[in-house]
Amino acid sequence: MTDADAARTSAPSHTLEAGATNYAGATAPGAVDLTRLYRPRAVAVVGASANPAKLGHQILRNIIDSGYTGQLYAVNPKETEILGRPCYPTIEAAPPVDLALIVVPAQAAVAVAEECGRHGVAHLVVITAGFKETGPEGARREAQLVEICRRYGMGLVGPNCLGVIDTHTPLNATFASARPLPGSIAFISQSGALGSAILDWSQQQAIGFSKFISLGNKAGLTEVDLILDAAADPETRVVAAYLEDVKDGARFLQAVGEASRRCPVLILKSGTSEAGGRAASSHTGALAGNDRAYEAAFAQTGVLRVQTLTELFALATAFANQPLPKGNRVAIVTNAGGPGIIATDAVERAGLAIARFTPETIKGLREKLPAECAVFDPVDVVGDAPPERYRIALDLVLQDPGVDAVVVLLTPQVPTRPPEVARHIVESRKLAPDKPVLVSMIGGQLVQEATEYLAAHQVPSFTFPEEAVTALAGMYRYARRRQRDGRVQATDVDRLRPDEVRSVFRAVRSEHRRVLLGPEAARVVAAYGVQVAPSELARTPDEAASIAERLGFPVALKIASPEIVHKSDVGGVRLKIGSADEVREAFVAIQQNVAALMPDHHFYGIEVSRMMPSGQELIVGMVRDHQFGPLLAFGMGGIYVNLLKDVSFRLAGALSRADVEEMIQETKVYQLLRGYRGSRPADVPALQEALARVARLCLDFPEIAELDINPLFAYEAGKGVVAVDVKITLG
């Protein structure tokens, strides 16, 4: 059992009579207490209706049908009782409540919220639509709602949402027609319609939920609040979320990493495509962020990103029911070769490994199985296998120390008897309860009883072998991530000179520029401890010559200009200049070239820089993401940057040492840095340091909109890195 599993075995201490208490584990930084949202002592439905066609009726009925045992009130000035529950003209006329569900029209919702605030309501769930998603007037209304909740300290779910469910309270405060089964998946959906469709689908699939929450417009509580809460919930073993955006990127980066260590967090983030992004904005008013930044945010917080709904629930089901694998070595037990090969392919494709059994296991399989069975992984008990043969194979491979997980495959053949095989799987698992076992029984009617039995005994089963393997691969990815996260260290850097950066920026601003000149940009990164090629700005040929003599030959001369992007195209660059006289000549030549081609060009001067010995050309860059802040890029530099796109990304806001290491290692140029075909390894530690320093610089100075070091030369081990060309644009 994992630590997190152990943490979740203790039953919740909360009882309705004793009043609101925290979950045992709800100690995540910045976590909001949602006990009175999911486990309210009393609930009011404001806008409850006696008409069964109205949402205000359906919600009341769902709460009653869910078996909610707390107090339940209706609020509606026209009734005195609905569905056997007392009805009050206003919320303030009702007894105290923890949770108020608002179903009144949007025009009235703000006033009702104010009344709820005065009445001491802890949480509002605003089902009502007609807010930000409808335009400026709705946005104003939403702002009023938020202001009221802030003023009274009320939690706010929605507006424009389906409601909330806690199957363990139990409480179903939604207008969904399906009733979810209890389970240990917390499902968070930014689309109410999708949420309700999934609830209906989940019943047929026997998938159970601990909680369901519809985020709506996320005006109050956001995905971060709900993820943190769910990850700390003892009834929840996995969080599965459908998101269209992340509202507060900084808080997400800061808090979700810790939550995902406690409990796996799966996210399907839609709106990844350009067109998808358009659809997202037109639908929820959410501004879909740059997908690269999301990719980095999820990777750095340990969130498992999935690409499809199928994958979301395949993984959720596996996490909900099985322990995490300790490694990636998979044993496959099958009664048919074909599915065994398909599963083997999937294992390799997913980055898992086929287990190598110990001699004892192989000996045991040889002795106890008929000669025609395959005793190496995959174990093929062959088509005529009676159920007992599965048991023999399973007992042996589950106990093999070289096996971290088992995938059981079955095709229904004449002697197979799938239900008996299912019982053997459940029994055999007890021999190694810390190893995950996933099943694929391919078939329809012939395997139905067996798969139902497995579901009832917490063994996830899938129609096809690839699905089982994909789910297992996700579990392994999470397990490895969690192991690695044990050594998270912040990337501390020292010897920084922020005052110097400030003074450069002041000077640039005073000239009403946004783009820094080369020497200015170099000074900025140098102030944060990144070694740069020495360079200075010269205004005259003689000044250039004396700078060159001071810096040392050879030097490069480059026109200094924020306007000229491709400096060599206008004759603005001269390289490898070896003497003071040549410097003077080159200065004049550049000046003339530029003056001829761009007569209106403002002459700032010419940059004189010492030419550095060649190193491996790299790029280090930063663009600022509007949700997650500085997004750092690293990769192969030089002219092939855009062609090869060998670049990795990380967010500076949550940059651990491990992230810095990984972002270097996941590029192809890393093969060169490690020493390729006999070349010497490069100074990777110096490169890591430089990346951490650039990250710090971009965090400390939000006015830096973009930064590009291309190339950064990496030299051999011990000889450092040097920024040869630096570009900085201010916001």
Question: Quick one: 569 or 661, whose CB is closer to a copy of itself?
Answer: 569
Print burial letters for 411-425: b (CB count within 10 Å at least 16), e (below 16). bbeeebbbbbbbbbb
Among all chains, which residue has been given the structure tokens 């007392």? Answer: 86
| CA–CA separation, 306 and 239 (whole Å) | 13
| CA–CA separation, 511 and 502 (whole Å) | 14
Q: What is the nearest approach in angstroms of a copy of itself to the Cβ of residue 525?
A: 26
Question: Quick one: 466 or 520, whose CB is closer to a copy of itself?
Answer: 466
Which amino acid is located at 579 in the chain?
S
Neighbour tally for 565: CB within 10 Å:
10
Question: Quick one: 372 or 511, whose CB is closer to a copy of itself?
Answer: 372
The two beta strands, 704-714 and 629-636, are unpaired
Question: Quick one: 144 or 463, whose CB is closer to a copy of itself?
Answer: 463
Q: What is the nearest approach in angstroms of a copy of itself to the Cβ of residue 249?
A: 19
Residues comprising the chain, all counted: 731
Question: Quick one: 45 or 530, whose CB is closer to a copy of itself?
Answer: 45
Q: What is the nearest approach in angstroms of a copy of itself to the Cβ of residue 59?
A: 12
Sequence-distant (≥ 6) Cβ neighbours of residue 16 within 8 angstroms: 39, 41, 69, 70
User: Quick check: helix, strand or coil at residue 606?
Assistant: strand
Among all chains, which residue has been given the structure tokens 């490694």? Answer: 327
Q: What is the nearest approach in angstroms of a copy of itself to the Cβ of residue 385?
A: 11
Neighbour tally for 576: CB within 10 Å:
10
Closest C-alpha among 350, 481, 693 to residue 2 = 481
**Torsion angle defined by CA atoms of residues 83, 89, 90 and 96, in that order, rounded to the nearest 10 degrees:** -60
Question: Quick one: 278 or 484, whose CB is closer to a copy of itself?
Answer: 278
Q: What is the nearest approach in angstroms of a copy of itself to the Cβ of residue 275?
A: 4
Q: What is the nearest approach in angstroms of a copy of itself to the Cβ of residue 665?
A: 14
Question: Quick one: 540 or 593, whose CB is closer to a copy of itself?
Answer: 593
| CA–CA separation, 607 and 612 (whole Å) | 15
Neighbour tally for 537: CB within 10 Å:
18
CB of 340 within 8 A of CB of 332?
yes
Q: What is the nearest approach in angstroms of a copy of itself to the Cβ of residue 267?
A: 13
Question: Quick one: 34 or 268, whose CB is closer to a copy of itself?
Answer: 268
Q: What is the nearest approach in angstroms of a copy of itself to the Cβ of residue 174?
A: 12
Which amino acid is located at 687 in the chain?
L
Closest C-alpha among 175, 169, 245 to residue 209 = 169
> Tokens representing 72?
């339940």
| CA–CA separation, 535 and 529 (whole Å) | 16
Q: What is the nearest approach in angstroms of a copy of itself to the Cβ of residue 51?
A: 12
| Maximal CA-CA distance, the chain | 99
Question: Quick one: 138 or 257, whose CB is closer to a copy of itself?
Answer: 138
CA 39 from chain centre, in angstroms, equals 28
User: Is the bond preceding residue 702 a cis peptide, omega within 30 degrees?
Assistant: no
Question: Quick one: 276 or 498, whose CB is closer to a copy of itself?
Answer: 276
List alpha helices for 533-630, DSSP H. Answer: 541-551, 580-597
User: Quick check: helix, strand or coil at residue 569?
Assistant: helix
Q: What is the nearest approach in angstroms of a copy of itself to the Cβ of residue 687?
A: 18
Burial class of residue 480 in the structure, from the number of CB atoms within 10 Å of its CB (0-12 exposed, 13-18 middle, 19+ buried): middle
Q: What is the nearest approach in angstroms of a copy of itself to the Cβ of residue 117?
A: 29
CB of 513 within 8 A of CB of 716?
no
| CA–CA separation, 260 and 130 (whole Å) | 34
Q: Is the dihedral of CA 82, 84, 87, 91 positive or negative?
A: negative
Question: Quick one: 361 or 591, whose CB is closer to a copy of itself?
Answer: 361
Question: Quick one: 80 or 205, whose CB is closer to a copy of itself?
Answer: 205
Q: What is the nearest approach in angstroms of a copy of itself to the Cβ of residue 684?
A: 17
Question: Quick one: 149 or 198, whose CB is closer to a copy of itself?
Answer: 198
Q: What is the nearest approach in angstroms of a copy of itself to the Cβ of residue 337?
A: 3
